[in-house]
Amino acid sequence: MEVHRCRFGIHLQLDPELEFDREVYPLGLLPNAGVVVGVSQRMSFPSSAEFPCFEPSPQAQTILHCLLRHLLQ
């Protein structure tokens, strides 16, 4: 569990399970599905290239845990 200090001097305890994946860049929100759509990168090993490449990978993350954390505060 991490402890952060906000600009008002209040300490917040953030549980890693209740946070969004920091490796995913959010692109949009699907409110009917309760999902944040984002993109991350992954390594690919094409046979035509000598070195591995990075390619975008779509990701979806639920927002339920963030809503629950907000309601419990």
Can you tell me whether residue 19 is helix, strand or coil? Answer: coil
- pLDDT exceeds cutoff 50 at 62: yes
- The first and second tokens of residue 2, run together, are 């991490």
Domain residue spans of the chain:
22-72
2 alpha-carbon distance from chain centroid = 16
Residue 8 pLDDT level (bands cut at 50, 70, 90)? very low
- The first and second tokens of residue 13, run together, are 């305890």
State pTM to two decimals: 0.58
Q: Are 2 and 12 in contact (CB under 8 A)?
A: no
Q: What is the pLDDT of residues 27-47, one digit of tens each?
A: 998 888 888 899 999 998 888
Mean pLDDT along residues 57-68: 84
Strands 35-44 and 25-30: antiparallel
> Which residue shows structure tokens 């999902």?
35
